[in-house]
């Protein structure tokens, strides 16, 4: 088993997307990349903790590669929007890849370069590629939020 951590805007939709990938064995939403210990949703929403809403993905590398997860990440949000996705704005909605190993770091940079050269985006990619930090699990009501509420996706 392996772990990947991604931030791509509101974590509800990001989690729902990764949960559909064969080989993903579990997900949890939470906060990472900031300074405050044990932040709550209310804390993170102040845009003063430095945390991003993120999804920690547990996956089986024999069934799905990290590179495949990176492709899902790039294809399911706009990595050219600085500190926002759709109507949500603030540093907690930034685009970021939190790598857990040197191999993940290399793969993340390579995939970013591939997407930058692809011509798919009209603006520069602003996604951060940074080491994984302490991941604080979000409150229970945020876990699998869309699934619990019978929603297919977030409304933008």
> Tell me, what CATH number does 58's domain have?
3.30.1060.10
Write out pLDDT tens, residues 105-130: 999 999 999 999 998 898 999 999 99
Is 10 annotated as catalytic?
Answer: yes
pLDDT of 152 reads: 66
Query: Is 153 contained in some domain?
Result: no
Instruction: Tell me the pLDDT band of 153, cut-offs 50, 70 and 90.
Output: low
Mean pLDDT score across all residues of the chain? 94
With pLDDT > 70 as the criterion, what percentage of the chain qualifies? 96
Residue 32, SS3?
A: strand
Query: Is 155 contained in some domain?
Result: no
Write out pLDDT tens, residues 60-98: 999 999 999 999 999 999 999 999 998 899 999 999 999
User: What is the rounded distance in angstroms from the CA atom of residue 96 to the CA atom of residue 149?
Assistant: 27
> Count of domains in the chain?
1
pLDDT of 156 reads: 43
Neighbours of 91 (CB within 10 A): 19
Helix spans in 4-142 (H): 11-19, 41-44, 66-75, 102-117
> 53 forms bridges with which residues in the sheet?
31
Q: Report the relative pairing of strands 84-85 and 95-99 from DSSP bridges.
A: unpaired
Q: Which residues of 67-86 are buried (b: 16+ CB within 10 A; e: fewer)?
A: eebbebbbebbbbebeebbe
Residue-range definition of the domain harbouring residue 44: 2-148
Of 4, 10, 44, 132, which one is the catalytic site residue?
A: 10
Query: Is 106 contained in some domain?
Result: yes
pLDDT of 61 reads: 98
Q: Please say if the pLDDT value at position 12 is more than 60.
A: yes
Query: Is 136 contained in some domain?
Result: yes
Residue/partner pairs of 15-18 with CB below 8 Å, 24 or more apart: 15/55, 15/143, 15/144, 15/145, 15/146, 16/144, 16/146, 16/147, 16/152, 16/153, 17/72, 17/76, 18/55, 18/57, 18/69, 18/72
Query: Is 154 contained in some domain?
Result: no
Query: Is 12 contained in some domain?
Result: yes
Residue 66 near residue 6 (C-beta atoms within 8 A): no
pLDDT of 142 reads: 87
Neighbours of 110 (CB within 10 A): 12
pLDDT of 132 reads: 98
User: What is the rounded distance in angstroms from the CA atom of residue 59 to the CA atom of residue 99?
Assistant: 14
Query: Is 124 contained in some domain?
Result: yes
């Amino acid at each position: 088993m392996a772990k990947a951590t991604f931030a791509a805007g509101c974590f509800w939709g990001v989690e729902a997307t990764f949960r559909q990938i064969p080989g993903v064995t579990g997900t949890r939403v939470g906060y990472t990349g900031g300074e405050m210990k044990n932040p709550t949703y209310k804390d993170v929403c102040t845009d003063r903790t430095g945390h991003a809403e993120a999804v920690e993905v547990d996956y089986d590398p024999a069934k799905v590669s990290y590179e495949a997860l990176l492709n899902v990440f790039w294809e399911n949000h706009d990595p050219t929007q600085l500190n926002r996705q759709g109507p949500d704005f603030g540093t907690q909605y930034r685009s970021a890849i939190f790598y857990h190993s040197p191999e993940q770091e290399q793969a993340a940079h390579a995939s970013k370069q591939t997407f930058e050269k692809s011509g798919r985006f009209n603006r520069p990619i602003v996604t951060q590629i940074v080491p994984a930090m302490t991941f604080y699990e979000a409150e229970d009501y945020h876990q699998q939020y869309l699934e619990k509420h019978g929603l297919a996706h977030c409304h933008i």
